[in-house]
């Protein structure tokens, strides 16, 4: 897919100030520092979206010190299109900055028909990454994740595939996503035996979804693995979008599988009360929600999506106030518990 560069023929040059803006956190006990806020390409980067807008978001992100871009084989829609669009933009704008970027992909969800396009077999993971690298025009990704546990494939097979992917030079590090504490511990033990750098667990984490606090964060700390949180805004509920009800053009109004009117309506009172605390902190609700996750020492980064550069800049203001006093934390617990 071609990009019409409305800014003319001048090549992109990253801001000289990009590393003065962002806060960086170590991922577990690894050598990797991640930006406190990373950019997820789950939405807004597929073929149905405007690639020039996607390009503007990526440029803005890197200029603000966001070095970590998170993708997966099935991001789009259609599947694969986010990686393909990202590859196009990488080639035009970021080729000179490849070594300053930390690029992720994943496999684990349905990707292509037949028995080899889903879950956790060695066949699927290696084939999927080969496809992802081709779409993005890369020789390797910085981290490759198994996207979800596969109950029917031996964990040794799945982790062995990740190990071989590193040994083949197709990924520098490996991670897992959506694994519960016990599964995470087992995966960590296997990868340690295989001498593979397992540095990140990507988990859904927000004020409204706190399962990671029930054992997972401790498991990660014990194994020297960092956490990167996705869906920190609970698919938009932890923003000012739903303070006065459900807008007609919102995700909830469309009753999508990951956010529907019933879920929002049952939480509106909580959203309003949380917003009051955010205002007292001098923050928007979305900024407080991101800061609240980053208070956890095990969390290396929070993944956010963005539909525009302005939205990205607004969410980065979360970094202006990351401290919570005990009173604020108790108030928040009282609302969301």
> Is 275 a member of any domain?
no
pLDDT at residue 251 is higher than 50: yes
Other Cβ atoms within 10 Å of 31 Cβ, number: 9
Cα separation, 109 vs 115, in Å, equals: 12
The total domain count for the chain is 1
Predicted pLDDT of residue 309? 98
- Better-predicted residue by pLDDT, 113 or 8: 113
> Is 255 a member of any domain?
no
The model's pLDDT over 177-186, given as tens digits with 9 standing for 90+, comes to 999 999 999 9
Predicted pLDDT of residue 9? 46
> Is 227 a member of any domain?
yes
DSSP-based three-state secondary structure for 183: helix
Predicted pLDDT of residue 262? 81
Burial of residue 254 (number of CB atoms within 10 Å: 0-12, 13-18, 19+): exposed
Among candidates 233, 331, 281, which has minimal Cα distance to 241? 233
> Is 251 a member of any domain?
no
Cα separation, 242 vs 258, in Å, equals: 16
Cα separation, 45 vs 307, in Å, equals: 9
User: What's the whole-number mean pLDDT along residues 39-44?
Assistant: 97
- Better-predicted residue by pLDDT, 154 or 9: 154
pLDDT at residue 228 is higher than 50: yes
> Is 113 a member of any domain?
yes
Cα separation, 157 vs 28, in Å, equals: 24
Other Cβ atoms within 10 Å of 186 Cβ, number: 15
Cα separation, 237 vs 285, in Å, equals: 10
Split at pLDDT 50, 70, 90, the class of 100 is very high
pLDDT at residue 135 is higher than 70: yes
Predicted pLDDT of residue 266? 87
Q: Are 146 and 177 in contact (CB under 8 A)?
A: yes
Output the CA torsion sign for 144, 149, 150, 153: positive
User: What's the whole-number mean pLDDT along residues 63-86?
Assistant: 98
Residues 97-123 as b or e (16 or more Cβ within 10 Å = b): eeeeebbbbbbbbebeeeeebbbbbbe
Predicted pLDDT of residue 33? 98
Give the chain's mean pLDDT.
Answer: 95
Cα separation, 1 vs 263, in Å, equals: 37
> Is 265 a member of any domain?
no
pLDDT at residue 3 is higher than 70: no
Split at pLDDT 50, 70, 90, the class of 248 is confident
Taking phi over 0 as left and psi of -120 to 50 as alpha, with beta for the rest, 108 belongs to left
> Is 94 a member of any domain?
yes
Split at pLDDT 50, 70, 90, the class of 264 is confident
Domain residues for the domain of 298 are 18-235+288-322
Cα separation, 224 vs 159, in Å, equals: 17
pLDDT at residue 265 is higher than 90: no
Among candidates 329, 313, 323, which has minimal Cα distance to 37? 313
The model's pLDDT over 53-70, given as tens digits with 9 standing for 90+, comes to 999 999 999 999 999 999
Q: Are 307 and 44 in contact (CB under 8 A)?
A: yes
The model's pLDDT over 294-309, given as tens digits with 9 standing for 90+, comes to 999 999 999 999 999 9
The CATH number that applies at residue 134 is 3.20.20.100
> Is 76 a member of any domain?
yes
Cα separation, 138 vs 204, in Å, equals: 27
């Amino acid at each position: 897919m071609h990009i019409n560069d409305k800014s003319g023929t001048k090549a992109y040059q990253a801001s000289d100030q990009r590393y003065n803006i962002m806060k960086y956190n170590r991922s577990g006990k690894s050598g990797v520092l991640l930006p406190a806020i990373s950019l997820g390409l789950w939405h807004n980067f597929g073929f149905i979206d405007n690639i020039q807008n996607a390009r503007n978001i990526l440029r803005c992100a890197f200029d603000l010190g966001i070095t970590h871009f998170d993708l997966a084989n099935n991001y789009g829609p259609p599947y694969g299109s986010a990686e393909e669009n990202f590859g196009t933009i990488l080639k035009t704008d970021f080729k000179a900055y490849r070594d300053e970027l930390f690029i992720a992909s994943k496999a684990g969800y349905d990707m292509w028909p037949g028995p080899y396009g889903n879950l956790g077999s060695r066949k699927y993971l290696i084939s999927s990454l080969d496809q992802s690298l081709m779409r993005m025009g890369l020789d390797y990704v910085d981290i490759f994740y198994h996207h979800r546990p596969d109950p029917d494939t031996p964990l040794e097979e799945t982790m062995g595939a990740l190990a071989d992917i590193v040994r083949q030079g197709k990924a520098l590090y490996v991670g897992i996503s959506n694994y519960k504490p016990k599964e995470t511990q087992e995966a960590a033990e296997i990868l340690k035996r295989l001498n593979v750098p397992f540095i990140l667990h990507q988990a859904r984490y927000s004020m409204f979804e706190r399962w990671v606090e029930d054992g997972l964060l401790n498991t990660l700390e014990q194994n020297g693995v960092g956490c990167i949180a996705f869906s920190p805004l609970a698919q938009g509920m932890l923003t000012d979008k739903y303070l006065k009800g459900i807008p007609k053009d919102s995700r909830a109004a469309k009753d999508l599988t990951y956010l529907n009117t019933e879920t929002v309506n049952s939480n509106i009172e909580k959203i309003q009360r949380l917003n009051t605390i955010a205002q007292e902190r001098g923050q928007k609700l979305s900024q407080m929600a991101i800061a609240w996750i980053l208070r956890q020492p095990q969390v290396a980064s929070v993944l956010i999506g963005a539909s525009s550069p302005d939205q990205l800049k607004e969410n980065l203001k979360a970094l202006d106030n990351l401290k919570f006093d005990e009173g604020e934390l108790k108030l928040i617990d009282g609302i969301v518990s």
